[in-house]
Amino acid sequence: MRSPVNSKLKIAVIGAGYWGPNLARNFSASPDWELVAICDLDATRAQALADRVGGAPAVFTDLDELLAQVELDAVAVATPARTHNGVVMAALRAGKHVLVEKPLADTHDRGVAMVQEAAARGLTLMADHTYCYTPAVLKIRELIAEGALGDLLFIDSVRINLGLVQPDVDVFWDLAPHDLSIIDFIIPGGLRPTAVSAHGADPLGSGKACIGYLTVPLAGDAIAHVHVNWLSPTKIRRMVIGGTLRTLVWDDLNPQQRLSIYDRGVDLTQQTVDGVDRAASTVSYRLGDTWSPALPETEALGVMAAEFAASIRDNRPARTDGEAGLRVLAVLEAASRSLVISGAMAEVDTAPVPADSPSVTPFEEARR
pLDDT tens-digit profile of 212-241?
Answer: 999 999 999 999 999 999 999 999 999 999
Bridge partners, 199 (sequence order): 213
pLDDT digits (tens, 9 = 90+) for 180-206: 999 999 999 999 999 999 999 999 999
User: How much is the pLDDT for 354?
Assistant: 72
Let me know: does 105 contact 85? Beta carbons within 8 Å: yes
Domain boundaries, the chain: 9-129+301-321+340-367, 132-298
Query: Rounded to whole angstroms, how far apart are CA atoms 316 and 34?
Result: 21
Helix/strand/coil for 73: coil
pLDDT at 101 over 50: yes
Identify the CA nearest to 78 among candidates 125, 36, 128, 126.
Answer: 128
Of all residues in the chain, the percent with pLDDT exceeding 90 is 83
User: How much is the pLDDT for 1?
Assistant: 44
Pick the CATH number of 9-129+301-321+340-367 from 3.40.50.720, 3.20.10.10, 3.40.50.300, 3.40.50.2300: 3.40.50.720
Triad 310, 311, 314: Cα angle to 5°: 75
pLDDT at 118 over 70: yes
pLDDT at 324 over 80: yes
User: How much is the pLDDT for 356?
Assistant: 58
Across 62-71, 121-130, 288-297, least confident range: 288-297
pLDDT at 252 over 90: yes
No. of helices (H) and no. of strands (E), the chain: 10, 17
pLDDT digits (tens, 9 = 90+) for 151-166: 999 999 999 999 888 8
User: How much is the pLDDT for 363?
Assistant: 32
User: How much is the pLDDT for 360?
Assistant: 45
Pick the CATH number of 132-298 from 3.30.360.10, 3.30.450.20, 3.40.50.720, 3.30.70.2190: 3.30.360.10
